[in-house]
Amino acid sequence: MSVEAVTAQRFRPGQTVHVIERPALGHCRTPWYLRGKTGVVASVQGAYRDPERLAYHKPGLPSQVLYKVRFLQTELWPDYPGPASDHLEADIYEGWLESAS
């Protein structure tokens, strides 16, 4: 369950977002193959303590909003042989997202 109420979320379901492309030193919850990619927010999961800070015995605060983001497979893998409508969903924390518009 959510650690705190989701009142400060930056993104809404249906909004197009871009995963920030930056190197990650140490523990990281954002897969490398999603960095630099654009997807659509499928849902807001809640606000949780930051796992990238918790991994180093920090309190994980401030909490971050966690989003389920949907990516088209054809956008992730140029040679994807499946249907163009196939997609992948990933949970991504707000600190890794920016507006795509």
50-62 pLDDT, tens per residue? 888 888 888 888 8
Q: What is the pTM of this model?
A: 0.87
How confident is the model at residue 24, as a pLDDT? 73
How confident is the model at residue 1, as a pLDDT? 43
Distance CA 33, CA 28 (A): 13
* Alpha carbon 28 to chain centroid, angstroms: 11
Q: Given 3-state DSSP classes, what are the helix, strand and coil percentages for the chain, each rounded to the nearest 5?
A: 15, 35, 50
What contacts 101, CB < 8 A, 6 or more positions away? Answer: 16
How confident is the model at residue 5, as a pLDDT? 45
Q: Where do the structural domains in the chain lie, given as residue ranges?
A: 16-99
Q: Which residues of the chain have pLDDT under 50?
A: 1-3, 5-6
CATH number belonging to domain 16-99: 2.30.30.50
Dihedral angle sign, alpha carbons of residues 48, 51, 56, 61 = negative
How confident is the model at residue 6, as a pLDDT? 43
